Amino acid sequence: MTSAAASVEAIVRAAGPHVPLLLARVEERLAELAAGHGPILAEHAGSTIAAGGKRLRPLLVLLAAGPDAACADDLVAAATAVELVHSATLVHDDVLDAAPLRRGLPTVWAQGGRELAVATGDLLFSRAFTELVATGSLAAVRTLSHAGSALAQGELLQRQDAWNAAVAVERYLERCELKTARLFEASCELGALAADADASTVAALGAFGRRIGLAFQLLDDVLDVMGDAARTGKHRGTDLLDGTVTLPLILARERDAELAAVDLRTIVTPEQASELCERIEATGAPVEATAHALAIVAEAKDELAALALALQDGQLLALDLVADSVVDRRA
Amino acid sequence: MTSAAASVEAIVRAAGPHVPLLLARVEERLAELAAGHGPILAEHAGSTIAAGGKRLRPLLVLLAAGPDAACADDLVAAATAVELVHSATLVHDDVLDAAPLRRGLPTVWAQGGRELAVATGDLLFSRAFTELVATGSLAAVRTLSHAGSALAQGELLQRQDAWNAAVAVERYLERCELKTARLFEASCELGALAADADASTVAALGAFGRRIGLAFQLLDDVLDVMGDAARTGKHRGTDLLDGTVTLPLILARERDAELAAVDLRTIVTPEQASELCERIEATGAPVEATAHALAIVAEAKDELAALALALQDGQLLALDLVADSVVDRRA
C-alpha cells in the first residue's frame, strides 16, 4: 500500500510550502532555547532536543492549523512548546528508566546524572509555558497544562503498575492515553486554536490526534517486543526489563498459561527478555495488538474524513498521511 | 527586639481577618488537588504538601494583594499555584539530594523511589499552571513560568558548581536568586496582579519579595552551618555533604588558609561535616553572612516604606512583619 510509504516529505508536500518553512523556524527556536540558558543546558538539553526525532508533535500543530493560521509566530511558539514538553518528558523518562541510550545517543541521565536530568527536564517544561504564554492564548496554556498533568499521571500509573503482569487491558489503555495520546491531542488542539477554528473543529482535531497518539503508543509497545536494536535503538524487551507491562504481554498471558506464570522480576538479562519476547510473539499477541492499533488509526481517519468541510484539501490529505506514518513505523 | 518575635499569627492579625480565611481555602484546595489524582499522588504528594511548612509563599501572595483584591477565587488559585510549584521543587530537590527526611518526615524519594518522585513533582508543577490558568490572567501565567524556569536554572547552577569551594560570591548570590528569590518575587507579583495594582506597584512588591527571598536563602544556608538537627530537621553541614558551597564557607575560606585547602569530596561523614562547620563558625563567616542577609532585609523594608501610599496600613505592617519573620528563623 502506498500510504504505508508515507514519509514526512510526502506529508509536507501535501500540506504546502508553508509547513517546511515553519518547521525550520521551530528547529531554530528550539536550538535558540537550548543555547540560551547557559552551557550546561546547551550541552544536555541541546543533545536531547537535537536527538528529538521526527518532530511529529510540532508537525501536528502546524497541520491542524492549516495554511490560514492567523499568526505564524504564535503557531511556531505552540509547535515549539509541545516539543519542549515532549523533550522534558524524554529527559525525565530516562531518569525513571535509568536509560543509557536514546536513539543511539547517550541520555542526559547517563551523561550528567539524575540531578542534572531532573533539573534539565524541569527547565524545558517551564520554558514550554513561557513560550506558549507569548501567544496570548489562555486556551492554549490551559490545553498544554492539562496535557502536562496527563503525562505525569501516566508516569505515576506506569510506576504503580510496574511488574504487575496481571494488569487489565483497560488500565493499560488508560496509561497510554495519559502518557502519549493526550499530548498528541493537545498538539492538534493547539494548532486548531491558533487558526481560530470553531470549538467543534478544535475538539474533532483533538480527537483525531488522541487516536493516532494511542495507536502510536500501542505500536511502539509492539515494536519493543518484535523490533531489533538496530531499528529502534533499543534492545528487544526493554519494557519487560523495567517492569513495564504492555498489550502484547497482556494478550499473550491469556493464550499461554506457562507465560502467564512467569514472574517478571526474574527477567533480568537482555537474553531472558529476548527469549520472553519470542514466546510472546509465538502466541500471536503482537499481531493482535497491531490489529487493534490499526483499527484505531482507521477510526481516526474516518473522523478526519468527517471534517472535510472544515479543512482545506491539502490539510486533510496531510493529516491523513500522518495517520499512515504512525502505522508505517511498524514496517 | 519585638519584631524578631513576629509570628504568622501576628502577621495575620495585622493583615486582617480575610487572610486566615483565604489561607484556609488555600489549604483546602491543596488537599483537594493532592487527593484528586489517584491514590499514589494522594499518598506521596499529599505528605509533601502537608509537610510544606509555613506557607510563606501563599501568604506573600495574599498580603501583596491586600484586602481589596478583585476576586478571592483568583487570589486563592494564585496562592495555591505558587505553593504547588514550591512543593514540586521540594519533591524534585529530594531526588537531587537523595534526601531521606524533610522536616522529620520521610521524603517522596525515600518512600517511593526516584521514579515516583520525578513524576510526582512533574504533576504538581503542571497542576500549578492549570490552577493559575483558571484565573484568566496571562500575566500571572507568564510570571509563574519565568519563576519556574529560574528555579530549574538555579538547580542546574547548583549542580554545575557542586564541590567547587572556590566559587565566587556573585555566583553564589546568582544561584540564590534563581533557586529561591525569584519565586518569592513571583508570589508578591501574583498578589499585586490579582489586586489589579499598577505596573510600578507590581514591580516594587516583586522587588520586595525578591529581597526577602534572597535573605531567606542566605539565612537558610547559615542555619545549615550553625543549626542543630532538632530545630532544622537536618543535620548540621548537610550542604557540605552534598557538595553545595554556600556563603559561610566561601567567606571562611578567605579567612582560614587551611580551611581553604580542604577538598570537599573528602568530607563524607556527618561527623566530618560537623567538624568543618565548627571550623567555619570559628572564622566568624556565618556572622558576616547573617549581617549580609539582615542588610538585604533592611533594604526590603525601606522599599516597602516607599510604597506606603500605594498600600493599605495593615497590608504594609503585615508585609513588614513577614520581612521580620525571615530574620526570626535564625533565632
Integer-rounded Cα radius of gyration of chain A: 19
* Residue of chain A whose Cα is closest to the Cα of B134: A142
Angle, CA of B64, B131 and A41, to the nearest 5°: 90
Phi, psi of A199 (to 5 degrees): -55, -40
The CATH homologous superfamily to which domain A2-328 belongs is Farnesyl Diphosphate Synthase (1.10.600.10)
Binding-face residues of B in 7-36 toward A, CB within 8 A: none
The alpha carbon dihedral of B241, B246, B249, B250 has a sign of: positive
Q: B160 and chain A: CB distance < 8 Å anywhere?
A: yes
The C-alpha atoms of residue B131 and residue B75 are separated, in whole angstroms, by 11
Find chain B residues with C-beta within 8 A of A186's C-beta: none
pTM of the model: 0.89
Phi, psi of A102 (to 5 degrees): -135, 125
β-pair type (B105-106, B101-102): antiparallel
* Residue of chain B whose Cα is closest to the Cα of A135: B138
| Single-letter amino acid code for the residue at B18 | H
Going from the first residue of chain B to its last (331 residues), give the mean pLDDT of each consecutive group of 10, the final group possibly shorter: 56 88 93 78 70 85 89 94 93 70 64 77 92 94 95 90 94 97 98 94 97 96 81 76 94 95 93 94 96 97 90 91 83 42
Contact A152 B95 (CB under 8 A): no
Q: A125 and chain B: CB distance < 8 Å anywhere?
A: yes
Q: Length of chain B, please? A: 331
Shortest distance, CA A77 to any CA of chain B (angstroms):
14
Contact B118 A138 (CB under 8 A): no
The C-alpha atoms of residue A319 and residue B51 are separated, in whole angstroms, by 48
* Residue of chain A whose Cα is closest to the Cα of B119: A152
pLDDT, tens digit only, all 331 positions of chain A: 344 345 777 888 888 889 999 999 999 999 888 887 766 667 767 777 776 678 999 999 999 999 877 789 999 999 999 999 999 998 888 766 666 666 666 666 666 677 778 888 999 999 999 999 999 999 999 999 999 999 999 988 988 899 999 999 999 999 999 999 999 999 999 999 999 999 999 999 999 999 999 999 999 999 999 976 555 556 789 899 989 999 999 999 999 999 999 999 999 999 999 999 999 999 999 999 999 999 999 999 999 999 988 888 889 999 999 999 988 864 4
| pLDDT tens track for B180-224 | 999 999 999 999 999 999 999 999 999 999 999 999 999 999 999
Residues 6+ apart with CB under 8 A from A258: none
Contact A149 B141 (CB under 8 A): no
The C-alpha atoms of residue B158 and residue B167 are separated, in whole angstroms, by 11
Contact A40 B146 (CB under 8 A): no
Contact A152 B115 (CB under 8 A): no
Contact A129 B129 (CB under 8 A): yes
Output the pLDDT for position A156. 87
Shortest distance, CA B62 to any CA of chain A (angstroms):
23
Contact A130 B145 (CB under 8 A): yes
* Residue of chain B whose Cα is closest to the Cα of A94: B115
Output the pLDDT for position B105. 66
Shortest distance, CA A311 to any CA of chain B (angstroms):
29
β-pair type (A101-102, A105-106): antiparallel
Contact B138 A142 (CB under 8 A): no
Output the pLDDT for position B2. 40
Q: Scanning the structure block, which residue is given the C-alpha cell 516597602? A: B304
The C-alpha atoms of residue A73 and residue B306 are separated, in whole angstroms, by 40
Binding-face residues of A in 232-251 toward B, CB within 8 A: none
The C-alpha atoms of residue B75 and residue B81 are separated, in whole angstroms, by 10
The C-alpha atoms of residue A217 and residue A247 are separated, in whole angstroms, by 10
* Residue of chain B whose Cα is closest to the Cα of A36: B153
Closest CB to B119: pick one of A40, A41, A152. A152
Shortest distance, CA B42 to any CA of chain A (angstroms):
11
| Other Cβ atoms closer than 10 A to A315 | 26
Q: B5 and chain A: CB distance < 8 Å anywhere?
A: no
* Residue of chain A whose Cα is closest to the Cα of B97: A115
The C-alpha atoms of residue B237 and residue B230 are separated, in whole angstroms, by 14
Output the pLDDT for position B169. 97
Shortest distance, CA A245 to any CA of chain B (angstroms):
16
Output the pLDDT for position A2. 40
Helices and strands in chain B, H and E counts: 17, 2
Domain boundaries along the sequence of chain A:
2-328
Residues 6+ apart with CB under 8 A from B194: B61, B65, B69, B70, B71, B74, B75, B78, B135, B137, B140
Q: B164 and chain A: CB distance < 8 Å anywhere?
A: no
Output the pLDDT for position A171. 96
What is the b/e burial string over A62-100, where b = at least 16 CB atoms within 10 angstroms of the residue's CB? bbbbbeebeeeebbbbbbbbbbbbbbbbbbbbbbbbebe
Substitution target in A149, A156, A163, A244 with the highest count of B β-carbons within 10 Å is A156
Substitution target in B74, B124, B125, B193 with the highest count of A β-carbons within 10 Å is B125
B3-328 placed in CATH 2.60.40.10: no
Shortest distance, CA B127 to any CA of chain A (angstroms):
6
Shortest distance, CA A221 to any CA of chain B (angstroms):
20
Output the pLDDT for position B1. 36
Q: A111 and chain B: CB distance < 8 Å anywhere?
A: no
Contact B152 A115 (CB under 8 A): no
For this complex, say whether ipTM is above 0.95: no
Shortest distance, CA A88 to any CA of chain B (angstroms):
10
Find chain B residues with C-beta within 8 A of A107's C-beta: none
Closest CB to B118: pick one of A95, A112, A130. A95
Shortest distance, CA A12 to any CA of chain B (angstroms):
32
Binding-face residues of B in 265-304 toward A, CB within 8 A: none
Substitution target in B33, B90, B122, B138 with the highest count of A β-carbons within 10 Å is B122
Contact A133 B138 (CB under 8 A): yes
